[in-house]
Amino acid sequence: MADPLIIKICGIKTLDMLDATIAAGADMVGFMHFQRSPRHVTIEEIGSLISAARGRIETCVVLVNPDNSCVAEVAALGPDWIQLHGPESPHRVEAIRAEAGVEIMKALPIGSAEDVAHVADFVDIADRILVDAKPPKGADRPGGLGETFDWSLLKALDPSIAFMLSGGLTPQTVAEAIKTVRPFGVDVSSGVESAPGVKDQRMIEAFIRNARAAV
């Protein structure tokens, strides 16, 4: 039997939506600490969310090119994961992992065969790899920004590399993505929102239901 699919709902901002996401059967929730994001939450808010989630679901704090003081501040809250979503080098990822003492997920934007080739640089350094769509040129923040990428690029990836898939997934596309790409997990943010930063409980439930049915 295959391992169960890991489903991460990212960009949770409120305790109510945290509870709804847990009730819907997600495995992980992500909290975004990056001011340019419509999903940004403060350190104080993240602390409350992590406390409410502890023992119920795995928590992940998403950071973009954080400095050491930000890493220390977040690590002190006791999340299960820190997700690095900026242009961090393998050396920097290694340093953050050592300093934080928290498992590290590294998001890697995929837009070309060259991007796929770089994934291997992080495999032994990060605890988990998340492949995401490359942001459009001139975007003011990283991430897929609701766009998918050409999944066929991932055929060039070493099959021994396990990864989670992100980038433009929705309740309508997640089943096809899982069947095509065969990731061990999926991550969604804008694809389960009614407006930027506003999660929709019914969309979260549909996303999880459709993802589970595809495995």
Strand partners, 86: none
Q: ∠ CA 157-159-165 to the nearest 5 degrees?
A: 65
Pairing relation of β-strands 58-63 and 193-195?
unpaired
Active-site positions? 10, 132
Cβ contact 142:109 at 8 Å: yes
Cβ contact 119:96 at 8 Å: no
Cβ contact 168:191 at 8 Å: yes
Pairing relation of β-strands 193-195 and 185-188?
unpaired
What beta strand segments (E) does the chain contain? Answer: 6-10, 28-32, 58-63, 81-84, 103-110, 128-133, 164-165, 185-188, 193-195, 198-199
Type of residue found at 116: V
Type of residue found at 52: A
